A and B are shown apart, each in its own frame.
Chain A
Amino acid sequence: MSDITTTLRERARALMEDGTIAAFIGWEAGRFERQTTPLICLDAADTDRLIFDEYCVNTTAKYVRDLKQRGRIGVAVRGCDSRAINRMIEDNQFKREDVYLLGIPCPQMNDRKTGTVLNKCQDCAHRNPVTYDELLGEAMEETAPQDRYARAHLVSGLDRIARQNIFNMAFERCIRCYACRDVCPCCTCRTCFVDQRNVGWLGKQDNLSENRFYGMIRAFHISDRCIECGECERACPMDLPLMAINKKLVEDMNTLFGEYESGMTTDNEDALRSFSKTDLEEFE
Chain B
Amino acid sequence: MILKDEMLDSLLTELSKEQIVYVPKQVNGTTRFAPYVSSDKMKLDQVNTVMPPKDLLFPQTQNMYHYGVEKNSGNMFIDPVIESADQILFGVRSCDMRSFDCLDAAFLTKGYIDEFYQAKRDRLTTIAIGCTEVSETCFCESMGQDPNHAPQADIQLRHGEGGYNVTAQTEKGEALLEKFKPFCEEGEVEVADVHCTLNVDASNIKDNLDILHESHELWDSMSYKCLNCGTCTFVCPTCYCFDIDQENRCKEGVRFRCWDSCMFSEYTAMAGGHNPRPEKRDRVRNRFMHKLNYFEDRYGKMLCVGCGRCIEKCPVSLDITVLIDRANELAQAEETEAAHA
Q: Give A residues with C-beta under 8 Å from B.
A: 30-32, 35-40, 58, 62-63, 66, 169-170, 172-173, 175-179, 181-183, 195, 197, 203-207, 231, 234-235, 237-240
> How many Å lie between the Cα of A237 and that of B227 in the bound state?
14
Say yes or no: B50 contacts A237, CB within 8 Å.
Answer: yes
B61 within 8 A of A: yes
> What's the interface size class on B, roughly?
35 or more
B321 within 8 A of A: yes
Query: Closest approach, in angstroms, between the C-beta of A48 and any C-beta of chain B?
Result: 15
Say yes or no: B245 contacts A205, CB within 8 Å.
Answer: yes
Known: A173-B30, A205-B245, A206-B60. A32 touches B50 (CB 8 A): no
Interface window among B14-22, B124-132, B256-264:
B256-264
Chain A residue at minimum C-beta to C-beta distance from B226: A182
Say yes or no: A37 contacts B227, CB within 8 Å.
Answer: no
Say yes or no: B319 contacts A177, CB within 8 Å.
Answer: no
A-B contact count (CB 8 A): 102
B70 within 8 A of A: no
Please name all residues of chain B whose beta carbon is closer than 8 Å to the beta carbon of A238 when the two chains form the complex: 29-30, 50
Chain B residue at minimum C-beta to C-beta distance from A40: B224
Say yes or no: A195 contacts B30, CB within 8 Å.
Answer: no
Please name all residues of chain A whose beta carbon is closer than 8 Å to the beta carbon of B259 when the two chains form the complex: 175, 206
> How many Å lie between the Cα of A205 and that of B225 in the bound state?
28
Query: Closest approach, in angstroms, between the C-beta of B122 and any C-beta of chain A?
Result: 25
> How many Å lie between the Cα of A178 and that of B234 in the bound state?
11
Chain A residue at minimum C-beta to C-beta distance from B227: A182
Please name all residues of chain B whose beta carbon is closer than 8 Å to the beta carbon of A32 when the two chains form the complex: 136-137
Known: A177-B234, A203-B245, A237-B235. A38 touches B225 (CB 8 A): yes
Query: Closest approach, in angstroms, between the C-beta of B234 and any C-beta of chain A?
Result: 5
Interface window among B159-167, B179-187, B203-211, B310-318:
B310-318
Pick the contact of B322: A31, A39, A58, A176 (CB < 8 A): A31
Known: A179-B231, A182-B228, A183-B227. A204 touches B258 (CB 8 A): yes
B170 within 8 A of A: no
Say yes or no: A195 contacts B266, CB within 8 Å.
Answer: yes
Please name all residues of chain B whose beta carbon is closer than 8 Å to the beta carbon of A37 when the two chains form the complex: 225, 316-319
> How many Å lie between the Cα of A146 and that of B136 in the bound state?
36
Pick the contact of B28: A35, A66, A173, A237 (CB < 8 A): A173
Please name all residues of chain A whose beta carbon is closer than 8 Å to the beta carbon of B60 when the two chains form the complex: 175, 206
> How many Å lie between the Cα of A177 and that of B156 in the bound state?
33
Pick the contact of B265: A40, A181, A195 (CB < 8 A): A195
Known: A204-B245, A237-B50. A40 touches B225 (CB 8 A): yes
Smallest CB-CB A-B distances: 3 pairs: A235-B315, A179-B229, A37-B317
Please name all residues of chain B whose beta carbon is closer than 8 Å to the beta carbon of A175 when the two chains form the complex: 51, 60, 230, 234-235, 259
B40 within 8 A of A: no
Please name all residues of chain B whose beta carbon is closer than 8 Å to the beta carbon of A195 when the two chains form the complex: 264-266
Say yes or no: B61 contacts A206, CB within 8 Å.
Answer: yes
Known: A173-B28, A175-B60, A205-B247. A30 touches B317 (CB 8 A): yes
Please name all residues of chain A whose beta carbon is closer than 8 Å to the beta carbon of B313 when the two chains form the complex: 237
Pick the contact of A169: B29, B51, B61, B265 (CB < 8 A): B29
Please name all residues of chain A whose beta carbon is closer than 8 Å to the beta carbon of B30 when the two chains form the complex: 173, 238-239
B243 within 8 A of A: yes
> How many Å lie between the Cα of A175 and that of B239 in the bound state?
14
Chain B residue at minimum C-beta to C-beta distance from A170: B29
Say yes or no: B61 contacts A205, CB within 8 Å.
Answer: yes
Please name all residues of chain A whose beta carbon is closer than 8 Å to the beta carbon of B256 when the two chains form the complex: 205
Query: Closest approach, in angstroms, between the C-beta of A215 and any C-beta of chain B?
Result: 14
Say yes or no: B322 contacts A173, CB within 8 Å.
Answer: no
> How many Å lie between the Cα of A173 and that of B29 in the bound state?
8
Query: Closest approach, in angstroms, between the C-beta of A283 and any C-beta of chain B?
Result: 31
Please name all residues of chain B whose beta carbon is closer than 8 Å to the beta carbon of A36 when the two chains form the complex: 317
> How many Å lie between the Cα of A195 and that of B313 in the bound state?
23
Please name all residues of chain B whose beta carbon is closer than 8 Å to the beta carbon of A30 when the two chains form the complex: 317, 319
Known: A195-B264, A238-B29. A203 touches B247 (CB 8 A): yes
